[in-house]
């Protein structure tokens, strides 16, 4: 199915869905969404993570195209990762700190550092997409989308909609557990895993961990949720109180673990001594850095990739460079980087190399010239990248605003999930009225992905 046919099918389906909201089914949808928010505590702080009353609808054929193209990008990332491990000079381009470098030298016991990852993309008007970063360290939100998909499929409006437009979901909880267990076997599976989900007590994604623990335990795997500060390493075991851990589902961000616990943290010591399998591995920090995209977009690195992978990178990775003095290339011509960045703020973004959640990002087209030049100067004293603006496609969504349903345009962030460094399946969807899409940063809404069967 070509892009025009996909667009036409999606538009017809959305129009039909919105028409169904002008019936008694709308109240059923509101009640079931609110019940799920209460049951699973689907909130960031006091704000519900989902205010949309329509899932993101994507034709299955288009989804398979996205999967195939994303997989080419992922395989290129894995090849680049292996080159980074082997080549200290190439690795220096990531601007790892001394402690991050030492952490990355710890052998994880399995091949892919990004066992569970999220490639963040924007869809465009051509029916294609562009990736803007890779959350390879501690991707959140996977299980929110999973329970939201279940919730929407239980709504009367989806049952009626499905009579004309059959839909299906991509199940995430089974895939997550399967991937964790496969990695644990690769690591050396000594006994049935006892799982610890590790992150700070104060994080606003705690509800997702509760969903995760409930599923793991229902499948027969004892699981605890534990703050890194409550972990101990003694007697050859990583422990959370009396609970002996042999598989860690690490949700704590590596940079924050180092900042608050250092290299002598019990989790770091246990991993180093192969007392516990930690997923994702600490080496995911190499792929978490935004400068990864500068390397993927660097013509000098094309030798690492197949012709198909190079084509996918050029199609789906925007022009990205480390922000520093000197010359580089832009669309085949040589440029002075700082002069180019200063003169082209309307199409550029500056991002901190090692942060997440949209923090420290400066959108050039929302800045005046003086502020943009100051941003460039400030960034030169640290580690930043500059990236070309990509098209962000808006869609109309019915949103619950107070007690009313309002149709409003929202930008769509489409984020394919990566598994074991070798597969793509499922995707997170985030909606925002701003070009800087990040639900966890305090705005927007999540909504589930549902596939329109052909």
Q: Output the DSSP codes for 404-450.
A: EEEEEEEEEEEEEEEETTTEEEEEEEEEESSSS--GGGT--EE--EE
Does 106 lie in the same domain as 75? yes
DSSP symbol at 364: G
Number of domains in the chain: 2
Higher-pLDDT residue of 441, 256: 256
User: Would you state the pLDDT for residue 6?
Assistant: 79
Residue 321's nearest CA partner among 378, 386, 389 is 386
Q: What confidence tens digit (pLDDT) does each residue in 178-194 have?
A: 999 999 999 998 789 99
**Rounded to the nearest 5°, which phi and psi values hold at 326?**
130, -175
Flag whether 232 is in a domain. yes
Question: For residue 4, what pLDDT band results from cuts at 50, 70 and 90?
Answer: confident
Strands 247-250 and 277-279: parallel
Does some domain include residue 248? yes
Record the tokens describing residue 199, joined without a space. 């992150």
User: Do residue 101 and residue 231 come from a single domain?
Assistant: yes
Q: Judge whether residue 389 has pLDDT over 80.
A: yes
Residue 440 pLDDT level (bands cut at 50, 70, 90): very low
Cα-based angle 191, 196, 197 (whole degrees, multiple of 5): 140
Give yes or no for residue 210 having a pLDDT over 80: yes
**Domain co-membership, 138 together with 225:** yes
Q: Let me know if residue 353 belongs to a domain.
A: yes
Domain finish residue from 388, 417, 439: 388
pLDDT band at 64 (very low <50, low <70, confident <90, very high): very high
Please give the average per-residue pLDDT across 140-150, as a whole number.
95
Residue-wise pLDDT for 115-129, tens only, equals 999 999 999 988 999
CATH number of the structural domain spanning residue 263: 3.40.50.1760
- In this structure, of 79-93, 393-407, 439-453, the range with the lowest mean pLDDT score is 439-453
C-alpha closest to that of 428 among 78, 21, 70 = 70
**If you average pLDDT over residues 49-65, what whole number do you get?**
96
In a shared domain, residues 256 and 367: no
If asked whether residues 373 and 416 sit together in one domain, one would say no
* 374 and 346 assigned to the same domain: yes
Residue 339 shares a structural domain with residue 397: no
5 pLDDT tier (thresholds 50, 70, 90): confident
Both structure tokens of 4: 């025009």
User: Does the CA dihedral 135-170-145-160 come out positive or negative?
Assistant: positive
Residues 235 and 106 in one domain: yes
| pLDDT exceeds cutoff 50 at 82 | yes
Q: Which of 366, 388, 410 is the last residue of a domain?
A: 388
Q: Give the Cα separation of 389 and 436 in Å (integer).
A: 11
Given pLDDT bands bounded at 50, 70 and 90, which one contains residue 441? very low
Task: Label the pairing between strands 223-226 and 56-59.
Answer: unpaired
Q: 296 lies in a domain?
A: no
Rounded to whole angstroms, the Cα distance separating 450 from 166 reads: 10
Whole-number Å distance between alpha carbons of 117 and 398: 29
Q: Are residues 401 and 380 in the same domain?
A: no
Residue 96 lies in a domain: yes
Task: Find the mean pLDDT for residues 147-157.
Answer: 98
Indicate if the pLDDT at residue 197 is higher than 60: yes
Confidence at residue 442, expressed as pLDDT on a 0 to 100 scale: 44
Residues whose CB is less than 8 angstroms from the CB of residue 227 and which lie 6 or more positions away in sequence, other chains included: 198, 199, 200, 201
Query: What pLDDT does 438 receive?
Result: 46
**Is 305 part of a structural domain of the chain?**
no
Give the confidence band of 372 by pLDDT, cuts at 50, 70, 90.
Answer: very high
Judge residue 349's burial from the number of C-beta atoms within 10 Å of its C-beta, 0-12 exposed, 13-18 middle, 19 or more buried.
buried
Asked if 239 and 351 sit in the same domain, the reply is no
**pLDDT value of position 436:** 56
| Nearest Cα to Cα of residue 142 among 121, 124, 117 | 117
Tell me the CATH number at 381.
3.30.1490
Nearest to 16 by CA among 73, 69, 54, 63: 54
Mean of pLDDT over the chain: 94
46-64 average pLDDT score: 95
Q: Final residue of a domain: which of 358, 388, 418?
A: 388
- β-bridge pairing 247-250 and 195-198: parallel
Give the CA distances from residue 99 to residues 104, 255, 283, 374, in Å, rounded to whole numbers and listed in that order.
Answer: 9, 9, 12, 30
Range of the domain at 123: 3-288+393-452
Is residue 35 domain-resident?
A: yes
Q: Are residues 257 and 217 in the same domain?
A: yes
Q: Per the domain annotation, does 303 fall within a domain?
A: no
Verify cis geometry, omega within 30 degrees of 0, for the bond prior to 41. no
Mark whether 443 and 370 lie in a shared domain. Answer: no
The kind and range of the H/E element at 238 are strand 237-240
DSSP state letters, 267-293: HHHHHHTTSSEEES-GGGHHHHSTHHH
Can you tell me the distance from the alpha carbon of 436 to that of 447, in angstroms, rounded to the nearest whole number? 17
How far is it, in rounded angstroms, from Cα 365 to Cα 445? 23
Query: Which ranges of 41-172 does DSSP label H, i.e. alpha helix?
Result: 60-86, 88-91, 98-104, 142-153, 156-164
Judged against a pLDDT cut of 80, whether residue 358 lies above it is answered with no
Give the model confidence (pLDDT) of 221-246 as tens digits.
999 999 999 999 999 999 999 999 99
């Amino acid at each position: 199915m070509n892009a025009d046919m996909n667009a036409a099918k999606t538009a017809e389906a959305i129009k039909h869905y919105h028409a169904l909201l002008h019936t008694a089914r709308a109240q059923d949808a509101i009640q079931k969404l609110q019940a799920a928010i209460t049951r699973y505590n689907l909130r960031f702080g006091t704000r519900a993570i989902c205010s949309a009353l329509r899932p993101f609808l994507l034709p299955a054929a288009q989804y398979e195209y996205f999967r195939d193209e994303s997989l080419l990008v992922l395989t290129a990332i894995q090849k680049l990762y292996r080159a980074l491990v082997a080549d200290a000079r190439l690795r220096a381009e990531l601007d790892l700190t001394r402690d991050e470098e030492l952490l990355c030298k710890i052998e994880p016991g399995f091949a892919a550092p990004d066992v569970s990852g999220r490639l963040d993309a924007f869809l465009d008007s051509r029916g294609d997409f562009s990736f803007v970063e890779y959350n390879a360290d501690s991707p959140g939100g996977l299980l929110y989308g999973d329970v939201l998909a279940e919730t929407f499929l239980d709504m009367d409006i989806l049952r009626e909609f499905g009579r004309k437009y059959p839909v299906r979901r991509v199940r995430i909880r089974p895939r997550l557990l399967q991937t964790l267990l496969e990695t644990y076997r690769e690591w050396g599976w000594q006994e049935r895993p006892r799982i610890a989900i590790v992150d700070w007590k104060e994080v606003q994604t705690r509800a997702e961990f509760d969903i995760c623990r409930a599923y793991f335990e229902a499948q027969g795997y004892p699981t605890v949720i534990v703050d890194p500060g409550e972990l101990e390493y003694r007697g050859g075991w990583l422990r959370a109180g009396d609970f002996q851990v042999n598989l860690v589902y690490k949700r704590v961000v590596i940079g924050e673990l180092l900042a608050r616990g250092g290299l002598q943290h019990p989790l770091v010591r246990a991993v180093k001594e192969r007392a516990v399998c930690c997923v994702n591995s600490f080496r995911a920090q190499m792929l978490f850095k935004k400068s990864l995209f500068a390397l993927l977009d660097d013509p000098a690195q094309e030798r690492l990739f197949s012709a198909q992978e190079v084509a996918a990178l050029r199609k789906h990775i925007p022009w990205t460079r480390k922000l520093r003095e000197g010359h580089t290339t832009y669309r085949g011509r040589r440029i002075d980087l700082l002069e180019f960045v200063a003169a082209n703020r309307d199409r550029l973004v500056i991002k901190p190399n090692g942060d997440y959640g949209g923090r420290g990002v400066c959108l050039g087209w929302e800045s005046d010239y003086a502020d943009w030049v100051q941003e460039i100067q400030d960034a030169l004293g640290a580690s930043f990248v500059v990236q070309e603006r990509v098209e962000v496609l808006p869609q109309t969504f019915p949103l619950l605003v107070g007690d009313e349903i309002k149709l409003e345009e929202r930008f769509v962030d489409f984020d394919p999930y990566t598994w074991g460094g070798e597969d793509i399946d499922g995707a997170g969807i985030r909606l925002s009225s701003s070009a800087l899409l990040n639900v966890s940063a305090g705005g927007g809404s999540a909504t589930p992905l549902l596939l329109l069967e052909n």
